[in-house]
A and B are shown apart, each in its own frame.
Chain A
């Protein structure tokens, strides 16, 4: 049983690393944000190879039940990473707001100076946005 779970976690971490690298390769995940995930994958891989590391760490910080080391670090990692994501989202929403404002002002200027009406096209986007917002 012990051998099984270690093999399983090795397979999982290798697959996870491969997935992260593939996502970066396909430009679906930017390099900047991939680093932490690669680090995470490597750590799991290291821990999966042998129980030695976990037991060593748990005895170092006086944890009697070795697997709980995994839980605590896993949990901490997730908390830190969600904070990081919220920071990114905040920055992006700031930028989106500024873009929206600039575009709105430019659009008004365009319409009033040249008489170009962006309205008909605008209606379609309006509806789709309204729906996605409500949903």
Chain B
């Protein structure tokens, strides 16, 4: 419960988010949580890193685009090197509300779980999503439930907090492609505990989603294959 003695890092992965990044940083500072912030600029071609720096954030600027997996891992590596106890992913597009940070941090510090996912679907929230996206979410949720026995609803949510054990693990093992769903299987294999808490998500405040409707079917197939392969990698995930 005592979050003052714990070092907490918020990692914002951002790729071409110049329109929303300052708002996200401001809302994080305004939320009053005692946390450190690092923005991982994933090789943006716009002014993301300049704006983030002006807004008072520490910026890790990757020289070129690594993708969300590589960018997030940079954040976890930074968290590990600087001895953080908790690392939280907060997307740079403004979908995640920093007001919910406490809800993610508290169960983690209580030791109830190793990873907390801020979930859109645990309780009724205002978040609206289209039908095809919804079908994909249900599909992944069912698949993850089957493979791990853990009924996680919002498997693609990027709003997540992890403890030190997982920071160390992620610093060395984080999938570069489609990490959100994939890590759930990996963590299950490694016997980490994953839990969801309800959050409300807002509409994107700029930029475009990494998952466009055209690519979504392709995405679903690829992720499913990755998941199935991971689930037969008998504990040898390193």
Q: Show the binding face of A for B, using Cβ within 8 Å.
A: 93, 97, 100-105, 107-108, 112, 122, 125-126, 129-130, 133
Contact = CB atoms under 8 A, between A and B. Distances in A.
Contact of A112 (B58, B61, B62): B58
Contacts of B219: none
B191 interface: no
Interface residues of B, number: 18
Contacts of A104: 60-63, 74
Which of the listed residues A93, A97, A112, A130 has the most CB atoms from chain B within 10 Å of its own CB? A97
A112 B81 CA distance: 16
Interface in B39-98: 43, 45, 58-66, 70, 73-74, 77-78, 81
A71 to B, nearest CB: 31
Contact of B70 (A97, A108, A122, A126): A97
A100 B66 contact: yes
Nearest to A118: B61
Given A130-B45, A130-B64, A108 B77 contact: no
Given A97-B176, A112-B58, A130-B45, A105 B74 contact: yes
Q: Is chain B's binding surface mostly helix, strand, loop or mixed?
A: mixed
A9 B78 CA distance: 57
B45 A100 contact: no
B64 A101 contact: no
A108 B62 contact: no
B62 A100 contact: yes
A126 B47 CA distance: 13
B59 A108 contact: yes
B111 to A, nearest CB: 29
A105 B60 contact: yes
